[in-house]
Structure 1
Amino acid sequence: MKFTKFATTCALALGVMSSTALAETTLKLATVAPLSSPWGQWAQGVAKKIEEESGGEMKIEVIGDAQLGDEQTILRQGMKGRVDLVLVSNIPLSLIGQEMDLVSSPFLYDSVEQGSCVAFNHLSEILGPSLREARLEPLTWMEVGNYIVFSKDEARTPSALEGRKVRVAATTADELFARKIGAVGVPMGTSDTIPALQTGNVEAAFLPGVFGIAIGTHKVAPNVTVSNHTRLIGTVAVSQRSYNKLSDQEKEWLSAFTEGGAALSAAVLGAEGALLGKLEGAGLPVARLSDEESAEWRASADGLREELAEQLGPKAVSILEQINAAKVACGS
């Protein structure tokens, strides 16, 4: 009898342990961002918050440093449900639909504040349907930062790049802008940029400030122009295949990514200013533009958004109208 009671007690204990193990949900988040970068640190911070708030019932495993491939590969894996969450920049979003390139239009916003307002208060409503068609559920919009110019020779104005080969991202918006300013846009990945500058295949590069400085672009193209001509916004999204398996409580825990998006934006934009200050402190030529020079950059993109939307089709035209309405709602 005593043995039977003991066996029953053990079985119950094992059952409790088994149900506890089954109750734990672990999701994998993939990104190319280094774990030590602002994006990697932010993702790990949100993962820690979720684990704490859930009492260990939900865990997010952050897999960074491009361990699961480049951004296009990671995005495809998310769309197919092979990874649970993706943290990607705007560059691969055209895999979902070319209309997504509109969020990379030069001088899309009138101010930093307006851009942040549109991104965090309106963009999920505007671009959410496209993401959901691709079997992704957007959680937040990820700050990538502002495009600046790294060049071998001084390039304070867009006219200074006329006829010169400039590295651009492989997006319709980037390529169109290069043509508008008379530059020869050379689409390439970020890993190819520094070798291309070293060999002379390109003479300048458009890159996000934090990323461009972090990889040392200024060492081969030391003239830095703070053009801030494009605000790059990516996404953190969860695979619908994974999302549909979650309980309401688990979805609520996952909303920590949504709530934390603005903090990441502030961190990235703050890092931009700090890194540019370090370059100046080291004696590198960092061009802070005058009002006249800034006006020339902005004028170079006149009509580009409308031309891009028309080129990309009716869906893009509708999205641009929604973005413009969101800008009005946010104010300047």
Structure 2
Amino acid sequence: MRNRGGVRVRADAAAKGMMRGLLLACCAALAVAAGCGPSADAPREADEAAEVTEITAAGTAFPNTIGETHWFTFQRKVEKGTQGRFKVRMLVHGQFSEEQIAAGLRRGRVQIGNLSATMTSTLVPEAAMLYAPFLFESEEEADFVYDHFLTELFTSLLAAQSLHLVSWSEIGFHHIYSVTPVLSPADMRGRRFRVSASEASRLFGEALSADVIPLGFGEIVPSLQTGLIEAGENSLTLYVRTGTSGEAPHVTLTAHCFGMSVIVADKAWWDSLADADREIIAHAYPSIAETRRGTREEAQHDLENADSFGITPRWPEQAERDRWAAAVAHVPEQLARAVGGQSRLVLDTIAEGKAAFARQQAAN
């Protein structure tokens, strides 16, 4: 009996254990159905979270300028267009110097960035030619030459340096700002004139017999305050909106140099993108047509509100501008010899584009 009883006890225990197992299984199933426990979607959701790709965008935009707006547009379009699969790390306010941006692009630490033509010329020397004086007579002529001639050439030159040209980003025509009025090329003789690291800027100042003083952009305002410099050159937006105009209220609208920068991507990264993602990113940064419009509207606004900005603009007559051009007419050739490489090809391409533009205008 004890044996039979022992068997009966063990059987009862086994039955109870099975019941507990069934109850636990039912509870687990109910919890899953109610969304209270781990689900079959959890691994997929974890995979999706892991698939978010961060890309670093780097630039040197100033707050409250059209350049800053363009970068925020880029961020919004990339993240929305990829439905959050790409997240843009925004380092567009000079957190990196241009040298660091260029190095980051080539080492895979920065995926997309904005480089001035001056900085670009350290990688592609021929980019220095874009800042030669008096290459273009008008914005319309410059637009035509860039769109139909220079874009193809510089896409190739940049690709050879492992960079992909995403877009041009217009800065605008450069003019001469000064503490006291500059009315003619003769007024530049001996004047303490700030130049950038660009060879084109230095040769321009020397051709005008100015006292050429190389300074970084951040040194302009304090140098004007101390009298180290009396004049310099820049686009209207960068002159008016960065403090320079407060120390040098006169600006002569020579339009002697067409300022342009590049939006470039690490080519290895660019080529690795899926076609659909590349298409989204390619069109996320405003097109050259959009950056032109925004830059020019901003410059026009600044001129229309010159009094409120405390600046005194002066528009040279065509004959006066011709005298400025004549004073520095030798600089493009001088610059091409100094830069070397395919600089002559750049000048020839611009000349070809200008001729095509003239024919188009004549036909219209």
Q: Which residue does 1:94 correspond to in 2?
A: 121
**CA-to-partner distance for each residue in 1:269-317, whole Å, 9 max, x for gaps?**
2211211222245664221212222221222231321221122224111
The letter for the 1-side match of 2:170 is: E
Hey, which bits of structure 1, 4+ residues long, moved more than 6 A?
none
The structure 2 residue matched to 1:16, chosen from 35, 44, 57, is: 44
Q: Which residue does 1:29 correspond to in 2?
A: 57
The answer on 1:64 being equivalent to 2:92 is yes
Q: Secondary structure at the match of 2:194?
A: strand
Q: Which residue does 1:260 correspond to in 2?
A: 287
Q: Distance in 1 between matches of 2:77 and 2:42?
A: 29
Q: 1:95 to 1:11 in 2, by over 3 A?
A: farther
Structure 2 unpaired stretches of 5+: 1-24
Greater gyration radius: 2
Q: Distance in 1 between matches of 2:41 and 2:357?
A: 56
CA contact (8 A) 2:77 2:284 kept: no
The structure 2 residue matched to 1:164, chosen from 191, 195, 199, is: 191
Q: Secondary structure at the match of 1:167?
A: strand
Q: 1:274 to 1:239 in 2, by over 3 A?
A: same
TM-score by length of 1: 0.91
The letter for the 2-side match of 1:39 is: G
Q: 1:49 to 1:122 in 2, by over 3 A?
A: farther
Considering only aligned residues, what root-mean-square deviation do their CA atoms show, in Å? 2.3
Matches within 5 A, 1:198-237: 198-237=225-264
The answer on 1:288 being equivalent to 2:315 is yes
Q: 1:120 to 1:61 in 2, by over 3 A?
A: farther
The structure 1 residue matched to 2:213, chosen from 186, 189, 195, is: 186
Q: 1:203 to 1:39 in 2, by over 3 A?
A: same
Q: Distance in 1 between matches of 2:203 and 2:85?
A: 48
Q: Secondary structure at the match of 2:182?
A: coil
Deviation at 1:4, TM superposition (A): 7.7
Q: 1:129 to 1:13 in 2, by over 3 A?
A: same
Q: 1:18 to 1:36 in 2, by over 3 A?
A: farther
TM-score by length of 2: 0.84
Q: Distance in 2 between matches of 1:89 and 1:52?
A: 28
The structure 1 residue matched to 2:83, chosen from 43, 55, 72, is: 55
Q: Which residue does 2:269 correspond to in 1?
A: 242
Q: Which residue does 2:335 correspond to in 1?
A: 308
**CA-to-partner distance for each residue in 1:172-227, whole Å, 9 max, x for gaps?**
11111111111122121110011111112111111221011111212211221111
Structure 1 unpaired stretches of 5+: none
Q: 1:329 to 1:47 in 2, by over 3 A?
A: farther
Q: Which residue does 1:276 correspond to in 2?
A: 303
**CA-to-partner distance for each residue in 1:236-258, whole Å, 9 max, x for gaps?**
01112321331111111111146
Q: 1:26 to 1:120 in 2, by over 3 A?
A: farther
The letter for the 1-side match of 2:346 is: I
Deviation at 1:12, TM superposition (A): 3.0
**CA-to-partner distance for each residue in 1:67-96, whole Å, 9 max, x for gaps?**
1x2222212211222111111222211210
Q: Which residue does 2:107 correspond to in 1?
A: 80
Q: 1:19 to 1:324 in 2, by over 3 A?
A: farther
The answer on 1:123 being equivalent to 2:169 is no
- Number of aligned residues: 331
Q: Which residue does 1:138 correspond to in 2?
A: 165
CA contact (8 A) 1:210 1:272 kept: yes
The letter for the 2-side match of 1:72 is: E
Q: 1:163 to 1:27 in 2, by over 3 A?
A: same
CA contact (8 A) 2:71 2:285 kept: no
The letter for the 2-side match of 1:36 is: N
Q: 1:80 to 1:330 in 2, by over 3 A?
A: farther
CA contact (8 A) 2:302 2:309 kept: no
CA contact (8 A) 2:252 2:314 kept: yes
Q: Secondary structure at the match of 1:145?
A: strand
Q: 1:257 to 1:91 in 2, by over 3 A?
A: farther
**CA-to-partner distance for each residue in 1:23-46, whole Å, 9 max, x for gaps?**
433311101113432111111112
Identity %, equivalent residues: 23
Q: Distance in 2 between matches of 1:328 and 1:15?
A: 62
The letter for the 1-side match of 2:140 is: E
The answer on 1:46 being equivalent to 2:74 is yes
Q: Distance in 2 between matches of 1:195 and 1:64?
A: 24
Q: Distance in 2 between matches of 1:130 and 1:270?
A: 31
Q: Which residue does 2:350 correspond to in 1?
A: 323
Deviation at 1:134, TM superposition (A): 2.2
Q: Secondary structure at the match of 1:32?
A: coil
Deviation at 1:10, TM superposition (A): 3.8
Q: Secondary structure at the match of 1:196?
A: helix
The answer on 1:155 being equivalent to 2:169 is no
Q: Secondary structure at the match of 1:166?
A: strand
